[in-house]
């Protein structure tokens, strides 16, 4: 059975898309730690990041780096935290989280955003990604 992220890739369920290329997709986390919290995923359905072949691993990190820089350009924050957990969804994903203090990187610390907040934020990061 497909993962929920493969369903997003295949447009079977919606997402707030931030960036996409042939092999990777970035979209906003639906239950964010902070505004702009983004997930970067490979289109290849692999559970554990350590099972990606080395070239795919490097390419995912480079894609995530570009997305993180796009976020840093438009979201006011001290740093973009980069984290890989994967306990909930068995499809590799890199969390990119705008942080100002350590608690922003804590996955028990969630914020509420409206649909407009999500779509405005996705557009902002997406435009920044296109300009890099």
Q: Where on the chain is the footprint of ligand AMP (CB under 6 A)? A: 4, 15, 29-31, 39, 85-89, 93
- Shortest spacing between CB 27 and ligand AMP, in angstroms: 6
**Residues 37, 91, 93, 95: which is the catalytic one?**
93
CA–CA separation, 31 vs 33, rounded Å? 7
Q: Which is nearer to ligand AMP, 58 or 110 (CB)?
A: 110
Torsion sign over Cα 117, 119, 124, 129: positive
- Shortest spacing between CB 24 and ligand AMP, in angstroms: 15
SS3 80: strand
Q: Which is nearer to ligand AMP, 99 or 131 (CB)?
A: 99
95 is catalytic: no
Q: Which is nearer to ligand AMP, 38 or 128 (CB)?
A: 38
Place of tokens 């705008």: 98
Q: CA angle 115-120-125, nearest 5°?
A: 130
> Are the C-beta atoms of 35 and 113 separated by less than 8 Å?
yes
- Shortest spacing between CB 63 and ligand AMP, in angstroms: 17
Catalytic residues: 93
């Amino acid at each position: 059975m497909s993962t929920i992220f493969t369903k997003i890739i295949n447009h079977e369920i919606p997402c707030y898309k931030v960036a996409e290329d042939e092999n990777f997709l970035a979209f906003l986390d639906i239950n964010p730690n902070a505004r702009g919290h983004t997930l970067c995923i490979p289109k290849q359905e692999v559970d554990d990041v350590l099972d990606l072949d080395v070239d795919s691993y490097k390419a995912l990190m480079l894609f995530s780096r570009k997305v993180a820089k796009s976020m840093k350009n438009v979201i006011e924050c001290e740093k973009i935290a980069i984290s890989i957990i994967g306990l909930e969804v068995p499809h590799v994903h890199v969390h990119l989280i705008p942080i100002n203090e350590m608690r922003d990187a804590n996955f028990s610390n969630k914020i509420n955003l409206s649909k407009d907040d999500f779509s405005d934020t996705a557009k902002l990061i997406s435009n920044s990604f296109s300009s890099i």
